[in-house]
A and B are shown apart, each in its own frame.
Chain A
Amino acid sequence: MNRDEATTVIAQGLRGIAPEADLDEVRSDKPLQDELDLDSMDFLNLMVAIAESTGIEIPERDYPKVDTLDGLVAYLVDAS
């Protein structure tokens, strides 16, 4: 998976969680939860959506690595 594909996966995952979210507007080096006003349930649902579409299960201990859009994209690229 390249960066564009990873970004698409994230955008699709967010559709059911934060339908108004526009990843182009997100500051990609800032905490994603703050940028998109996601609470812990939303974030968990994003992890579930990503796992369902890619098979990549991000363990909780890796959450610090994926707390920004840049980090999450890089993680998915590395993991695929």
Chain B
Amino acid sequence: MPSLGADMDSGTLLEWKVAVGDTVAKGDIVAVVDTEKSDIEVETFHAGVITELLVEEGTEVEVGTPLAVIDDGAAPAPPAETHPEPEPAVEPTPEPEPEPAAEPAPQAGDAAERPPVVHSPIVRHLAEERGIDLSTVQGTGPGGAVTRRDLDAVAAPADRPAASTAASAPTTTPPRPTEDGSRVRSSPLARRRADELGVDLGSVTGSGPDGAVTIADVEAAAGELPTTPAPASPAPAPTPPPEEAATDRSATVRAATGRLMARSKREIPHYYLSTTIDLHDALEWLERTNRDRPVTERILPAALLLRAVVVALGDQPRLNGSWVDDELRTADRVDLGVGVALRGGGLIAPVIPAADTLGLVETMDALRGLVGRARSGRLKGSDLGEASVTVTNLGDQGVESVYGVIAPPQVAVVGFGAIGERPWAVEGMLTVRRVVTATLSADHRATDGHEGARFLSTLDQLLHEPDRLSEGTPS
């Protein structure tokens, strides 16, 4: 089970896309996994023949759990049990691959040879917040890394089930404390319903996973529905029923967004800059370019803006990276997070990996694929890597400007408002031009306004020289 996002501890294997005996190539979709945010298609990082599927559909497993055995023909397949160490996505049978794929996990070896355990930034942060020494915690994550769940287990009193991220998420209706002071497990939807019905969650017996209070429990408590028998003690259920998962999806996206944004505003001293850019040259150029292209290969202004951001970041690399352990770590490539508004609400920011290696046409292809997969709820694992910077609101919402909230541990988010016509002075004459307002929200710990201003100024210049943006790869 690959980690499909920094805050993911486990996932539910929804569907196998392969069967025993199938031959797979690197990059093939082998399974669909349900995470808090979306259904994700999981790719294999290894080629070979599937010899065993280790996890049944519908089962929730921890990140790092082997899902299947692939025989690449190099050696006879040893039994899966001899490979207890976590592997990304799919377990290869023979020796460790030289190339540990996207999710680096320690390979097999003696404990003494193991590299130092690497904990995720979020876990380190939580541990610090809770005053937990990570070296004292038994990690169950990849390579013995401590996961959020491990931390919750340490922090939680024995009688309290480990809080899932969704259950402990801050929402408009905070979970009410129970008599023993611990928080009630409940879905965000159930909390909202409880609020509507005036039901005290602490007084409701939960029938959901780990004794979580469900909507049905709330409604039963309010007397709206006949009471369904609830288990006397919280009985852990492996996964919520599919229909409940579907109903709660937008609520969990909402909750996950809320958690991340609250953390951002708590920790990151944002500064904000904006500039309005005349897009006359860029759009005329794009229209000329598109005239010769079939409809399936047309390039949207959004792709041009993304490309301009990537190129401008080359001049201001300190906006591209992460803030970890009180220092800026600049990234050596641009993994571009793109805010995508979903129909029916919600926003996710999947990633175009190594966007600085893509030309304009390739950027458009990547954007089209990403938006399509995000909206159909079928993102691939590689869409959900860690972004090094994010661009938000290419969604034609009609607003003039958007000031994004930085997604930690990133240090900047670039926002574009809607492209619209405005009166514009050109060489002393008033004319009408199509313009866009570009904004930068950046982490003041990492950069200051001077660097931010230079970034926006470079962006402006680039959009007046669209030919530079159409070149294959930046130097």
Taking Cβ atoms with an 8 Å cutoff, the residues of A that contact B are 18-20, 33, 37, 39-41, 44-45, 47-48, 51, 57-61
A37 to B408, CA, bound (A): 30
**Which one of B134-142, B291-299, B384-392, B432-440 contacts A?**
B291-299
A50→B37 CA distance, assembly (Å): 32
Given A20-B343, A61-B287, are A51 and B295 neighbors across the interface (CB < 8 Å)?
yes
Enumerate the 10 nearest inter-chain pairs by beta-carbon distance, A residue then B residue, closest first: A39-B396, A51-B295, A57-B295, A39-B395, A41-B371, A47-B295, A40-B300, A40-B396, A60-B290, A48-B296
Q: How far is the CB of B361 from chain A (nearest CB, A)?
A: 14
Q: How far is the CA of A19 from the CA of B300 in the complex (A)?
A: 23
Selected A-B contacts with CB under 8 Å, 23 pairs: A18-B343, A19-B343, A20-B344, A39-B396, A40-B300, A40-B396, A41-B302, A41-B367, A41-B371, A44-B295, A44-B298, A44-B300, A45-B372, A47-B298, A48-B295, A48-B296, A51-B295, A51-B296, A58-B295, A60-B291, A60-B298, A61-B287, A61-B291
B284-314: which have CB < 8 Å to A? 287, 290-291, 294-296, 298, 300-302
Across-interface contacts of A33 in B (CB, < 8 A): 396
Nearest residue (CB) in A for B341 is A39
A40 touches B295 (CB 8 A): no
Q: Complex formed: what's the CA distance from A20 to B345 in Å? A: 13
Complex Cα distance, B300 from A33, in Å, reads 15
**Nearest CB in chain A to that of B287: its residue:** A60
Tell me the minimal C-beta distance from A57 to chain B in angstroms.
5
Q: Which of the listed residues A19, A39, A57, A59 has the most CB atoms from chain B within 10 Å of its own CB?
A: A39
- Chain B residues, Cβ within 8 Å of A19: 343
Bound complex: CA of A57 vs CA of B395, how far in Å?
A: 24
Binding site for A on B (CB under 8 A): 287, 290-291, 294-296, 298, 300-302, 341, 343-344, 367-368, 371-372, 394-397
In the complex, the answer to whether A37 meets B295 with C-beta atoms within 8 Å is no
Report yes or no: A57 in contact with B294, Cβ–Cβ below 8 A.
yes
Once bound together, how far apart are the Cα atoms of A47 and B394, in whole Å?
19
Nearest CB of chain A from residue B443's CB, rounded to whole Å? 28
Q: Which residues of chain A are near B291, meaning CB under 8 Å?
A: 59-61
Q: How far is the CB of B471 from chain A (nearest CB, A)?
A: 23
Cβ distance A21 to chain B, nearest Cβ, rounded Å: 10
CB distance from A62 to the nearest CB of B (A): 11
Closest to A19 in B: B343
In the assembled complex, the Cα of A8 lies from the Cα of B313 at a distance in Å of 45
Contacts of B294 in A (CB 8 A): 51, 57
Point out the residues of chain A lying under 8 angstroms from B301, CB to CB: 40
Minimal Cβ-Cβ distance residue in B for A59: B291
Given A20-B344, A60-B290, 14 further pairs, Cβ under 8 A: A19-B343, A39-B341, A39-B394, A40-B302, A41-B367, A41-B368, A41-B371, A44-B298, A44-B368, A57-B294, A59-B291, A60-B287, A60-B298, A61-B287
Could you tell me the distance in whole angstroms from the C-beta of A43 to the nearest C-beta in chain B?
Answer: 9
**A58 to B397 alpha-carbon distance, docked (Å):** 24
A24 to B290, CA, bound (A): 32
B residues within 8 A CB of A37? 343
The CA-CA distance from A48 to B114 in the complex, in Å, is 52
Residues of chain B with a CB closer than 8 A to A18's CB? 343
A23 to B368 Cα, complex, angstroms: 25
Nearest residue in B to A33 (C-beta to C-beta)? Answer: B396
Report B25 CB to chain A, min CB distance, Å: 27
Contact residues in A for B372 (Cβ distance below 8 Å) = 45
A18 to B341, CA, bound (A): 13
Which residue on chain B has the smallest CB distance to residue A37? B343
Q: Across the two chains, which residue of chain B brings its CB closest to A36?
A: B343
